Amino acid sequence: MTVKLKITAIKPYPVWVGIRNQMLVKVETDGGIFGWGESGLSGREKAVAATVEHYREFLIGRDAMQIGRIWQELYRSQYFEGGRVLQAAISAIDIALHDIKGKALGVPVYELLGGKQREKIPTFASTGDEAEGDAAIERAIELRDEGWQAIRFFPAGQSSRDVFEPRESIGATAAMLNKAREALGGDVVLGIDYHHRLSVAEAASFCNKLERGVLDFLEEPIRDETPGAYGALRKMTDIPFAIGEEFASKWQFLPYIEQDLHQLNRIDVCNVGGLTEAMKVAGWSEAHYVDLMPHNPLGPVCTAATIHFGAAVANFAWLETRAPEVKLGFDNSDFFPVQPRLDGTEYPVSDLPGLGVEVNEDAIAAQSFHFWEAPHLRRRDGSVTNW
């Protein structure tokens, strides 16, 4: 059966949901079928919205079913190809096109990706940005008792909106994690997200302060621009690395996968180039025995797209969920009346056509965008450091 649907409109919606903006994109067709996508470039949503508007000018009239061809045209249609802003816009459009195609064919998106390999998507939960020391350990115990077998901590000083001193953080954080492992036992998977705030030397020092076997993964200890720096750190510790959430293409993943620098892939379907690009990275990762641990701190559209992705790939570990952190408000039911919901610590895989998400367009259209900045951190000497 051949189905053709012409794109008639593409609408970017940067809207405030909970404590952050979400960058949603709606793609409409002449058959009355529409799809929703989401961009992952938090804090720079207006740049993504403007890029979507540029792409809209030549996408109107295109066949929405030709997802792979459209991806190539979006990527190759400018001399200055790639980059995080352009790829975030491509991601949102690509996800929306998968939503459209699934609805047009009457199948869930995972069927477009090769079919379902698992019925439920396991998740990991986090202790929260504000919890430190004993409070973080107590929260981890609560999460374990609620059923989570994979739990992520944040470092001491994570919640600061002003000063962050890495050397002050690593000692306190290592002590907390050593204590947490003793309290939680050996069966729970424990990790920590250092949010690329350390240097190679600081990250190595942190790892050396941990007792052997405490951590199952170390997420984003340093920035990603220089793969060789991760190569140097890899030689200094045997703790598995979980990295890749900010990677914006298969090419950015290339040195990390080919040089076996990481063991858990924090791929973000809303940053990497959508489901089209994510599936390519997934197969490449499988060839190097790298498991997928997708980044998912955004909204229900991102969650739904990642669930379908997780259902369709073999090499899957856990999906990030912020659902236990209810104060964040990312899953506002007024905006998203139909959305993925946790069943215990797992997401059921929706069998609804498309993504299986409904968006209240009138509600989000009436919701204003708020300028939001991540904390601009400094060290005690006044110099700028990473958030």
Mean pLDDT across the stretch 194-200? Answer: 97
Please, which pLDDT band fits residue 195 given cuts at 50, 70 and 90?
very high
Token pair of 84 as six digits: 């995080």
In this structure, how many other beta carbons lie within 10 angstroms of the beta carbon of residue 358? 15
Amino acid, single-letter form, for residue 189: V
The whole-number pLDDT of residue 326 equals 67
Q: What tens digit of pLDDT does each residue of 33-42 get? A: 999 999 999 9
Q: For residue 1, is pLDDT > 70?
A: no
Q: Rounded distance, CA 323 to CA 330, Å?
A: 8
What pLDDT, in 10s, does the model give residues 40-86? 999 999 999 999 999 999 999 999 999 999 999 999 998 888 999 99
Dihedral, 51, 56, 57, 63 alpha carbons, nearest 10? 140
The mean predicted confidence, pLDDT, of the chain is 96
Residue type, 309: F
Q: What is the pTM of this model?
A: 0.96
Q: Is the pLDDT of residue 325 over 90?
A: no
Q: What is the pLDDT of residues 85-117, one digit of tens each?
A: 999 999 999 999 999 999 999 999 999 999 999
**Which H or E run contains 87?**
helix 84-105
Tell me which residue of 267, 243, 177, 265 sits closest to 213, measured CA to CA.
177
Model pLDDT, residue 24 = 98
Q: Report yes or no: 18 and 330 within 8 Å, Cβ to Cβ.
A: yes
Rounded to an integer, what distance in angstroms lies between the CA atom of residue 363 and that of residue 54? 25
Question: Among 264, 226, 217, 227, which Cα is nearest to 245's?
Answer: 264
Of 307, 364, 353, nearest in space to 33 by CA: 353
Query: Which three-class secondary structure state does DSSP give residue 150?
Result: strand
Please give the Cα distance from 126 to 193 (Å, whole number).
10
Residue 122 and residue 346 in contact, taking contact as beta carbons nearer than 8 Å: yes
Q: For strands 291-292 and 319-320, give the pairing.
A: unpaired
Annotated active-site positions, please? Answer: 195, 295
